[in-house]
Chain A
Amino acid sequence: MQINERVVPQGIILDVVGDLTYANRGVFKAAVDKAKSAGCRHLIVNLEKVRFIDSAGLGLLVLVSQNLKLIQAQLSVLKPQLYVREIMSLANIPKMIPIYDSEDAVSGARAA
């Protein structure tokens, strides 16, 4: 798995490439910690190039979301592929973490 960080007006986008799974949790945690230490208030995880997420990956997203809320920050998910979206829906993740289909939609939602 590879993660590239982009600073955008809405916050920080983490472009994830590869599977978000138990085996890759360390890489993801490190990227999140780096964004948090940079003072990020809105972390956007771009899952466009993630084909699979397992239960551990899902747990990480929820944990990050809860931890960000504690510091009045937010986690959003961007453009998950169909199968990843199904897995997230099964676990009711959209009720906990906003999911957007474009970067414009993220900024629109924040502005609203």
Chain B
Amino acid sequence: MNSNVTEPIGQAGESSAQPEAAATILLIEDELVTRTSMAARLRRLGHRVLEAENGLVALDVARRERPDLSIVDWMMPEMDGPTFCETVRRDPLLKSSQLLLMTAHDQPAQIAEGLARGADDFLSKSASKQEIVARVLAGLRASRLVRKLETTGNELESSLLLLKKQQAETEADLQSAAAFVRSILPPQGSPAQGIALAWEYQPSLMLGGDLFGVMAIDADSLGLYILDASGHGVAAALRSASLMTFLRAEHMLQLLGSYDPEKVLTEANQRFPLSVEGEYFTLWVGQLHVPTGRLSYASAGHSGALASLAHGSLRWLTRSSFPLGFDPSAQFPCDYVDLQPGDRLFLLSDGIYEVPSPSGELWGRERFQDVIEGAKRTSLSATIASCFSQARSWQQAQFFSDDAAVVGLELAGGSEGGVNG
């Protein structure tokens, strides 16, 4: 091997063309006289020069030293210049190297072949001193740009990996939070003797702001609620979880002595004001006296509940009222309905029927009602599943743009159906 590394030795002669910083140049030339002369000239420019007698030797040097620029002779034994260029372009470590191909015959066809085989530029062996300096400097400028791009690319890749790692951690946290929220939703089945409960819930994101509860208040009564936090995402979900905690039966009984819907809403209205960002809740609260089927309910701006009477029509259980926090002095008077065996009560979020078709037309409450009405003879869970499937069909999409929830309760005694039937 005839390669050596020599430190810069002076800057006389071509000093007017000094580069910004000394670079490492690999000079590949089999003719000793030409190589020595060229090496000396490059060293006078202030560069560190490595020498190799052919392409094969040069590959080892290049892999070891990563030169800023390689000046390669065309004709050499063992491995010629164009083959060296091709080999470099295929090598993942070296492929971005700057290659200056030297030739004695700068014919257009030869230049084209050299460029096609991987050279970046050409240098005639008969070039003037000024031209040599200019082409070397141009090659080094390109090399610096490529190196900078490589560094930036590496940094971006590292940042991307870090972001992906953080995103995975965030998603794991969100999945954990979503699992927790689902765990505190009421279990499907029979929350009280003679009452069947089924529900379906699809948050628009991993965590939803629409939540609901069905819980025993005492031996004879169930407390019911469905809440809707304005907005979407983690912030809405956290606010909803806070209101959900507030609405726990034991908390209400301790605070108010009952689960009277009017009292619950009045208290919640004080505790959950409109935020400075305009965030708020709508909330529907009911209390069902199981032995008599009497439902007392009140709403704070919520689209409400729908009663599907076994021997009658549908009835929306809501009235115009301020959402929570709009007006500290707002009143939320109770209304009543007496449910009979076989009657069904649906608590729902507006996200189930405010779904647009591809043309922008909303599915709407009327179509939702039609599904409830038409599915009276099917089981409670099948009726709810039908609501979701038809809403999805309307919007021609699997996922909803808002949280969608439908909670169904059925008073035992109907001739058909059952919670899992």
Q: Which residues in window 38-86 of A have CB below 8 A to B?
A: 51-52, 54-56, 58-60, 62-64, 66, 83
Tell me which residues across on chain A come within 8 A of B362, comparing CB atoms.
52, 83
CB neighbours (8 Å) of B320 from chain A are 89-92
Interface contacts (Cβ under 8 Å), in number, total 66
B36 to chain A, nearest CB (A): 69
A64 to B274, CA, bound (A): 12
Most chain A CB atoms below 10 A, which of B279, B318, B330, B356: B279
Choose among B228, B318, B326 the residue that contacts A62 (Cβ–Cβ < 8 A).
B326
| Residue B392 CB within 8 A of the other chain | no
Chain A proximity of B393: nearest CB distance (Å): 20
B301 near A91 with CB under 8 A, answer: yes
CA distance A76 to B277 in the complex (A): 20
Given the known interface contacts A51-B360, A90-B318, A91-B320, the answer about A22 and B232 at a Cβ–Cβ threshold of 8 Å is yes
B397 CB to closest chain A CB (Å) equals 16
In the complex the two chains form, is A62's CB within 8 Å of B354's CB? no
Checking A51, A59, A95, A96 against B278 with a beta-carbon cut-off of 8 angstroms, the contacting residue is A59
Number of B positions contacting A (CB below 8 A): 28
Contact (Cβ within 8 A) A59 B279: yes
Question: Taking CB as reference atom, which chain A residue is nearest B281?
Answer: A55
Is B327 in the interface zone, CB < 8 Å from A?
yes
B231 touching A55 by the CB < 8 A rule?
yes
What does DSSP make chain A's interface, helix, strand, loop or mixed? helix
- Asked if residues B323 and A66 are in contact (CB atoms below 8 Å), the reply is no
Interface size of A by CB at 8 A reads 21
Could you tell me if A92 and B402 are in contact, using CB atoms closer than 8 angstroms? no
The answer for the CA separation of A101 and B61 in the assembled complex, in Å, is 83
Instruction: Give the distance in Å from the alpha carbon of A82 to the alpha carbon of B232 in the complex.
Output: 25
Q: How far is the CB of B356 from chain A (nearest CB, A)?
A: 8
Q: Which residues of B contact A83 (CB under 8 A)?
A: 362
Min C-beta distance of A26 to chain B, whole Å? 11
With A22-B232, A90-B303 known as contacts, the answer to whether A56 contacts B278 (CB < 8 A) is yes
Tell me whether B230 is interfacial, beta carbon within 8 Å.
Answer: yes
Q: Which residue of the partner chain A has the closest CB to B349?
A: A55
Tell me which of A51, A59, A89, A92 contacts B274 (CB under 8 A). Answer: A59
Residues of B within 8 A of A51 (CB): 360
Residue numbers in A under 8 Å from B303 (CB-CB): 90
With contacts A51-B360, A52-B354, A62-B274 known, is A96 near B282, CB below 8 A? no
Kindly list chain B residues whose C-beta atoms are within 8 Å of the C-beta of A63.
274, 276-278
Name the residue of chain B whose CB is nearest to the CB of A94: B320
Judging by beta carbons under 8 Å apart, are A92 and B278 in contact? no
Of residues 275 to 302 in B, which have CB atoms within 8 Å of A's CB atoms? 276-280, 282, 301
User: Which residues of the other chain, B, contact A95 by a CB distance below 8 angstroms?
Assistant: 322
Q: A-side interface residues toward B, CB under 8 Å?
A: 22, 25, 51-52, 54-56, 58-60, 62-64, 66, 83, 89-92, 95-96
Nearest first, the 9 closest Cβ-Cβ pairs linking A and B are A63-B278, A59-B278, A55-B230, A91-B301, A59-B230, A56-B230, A60-B278, A92-B322, A56-B231
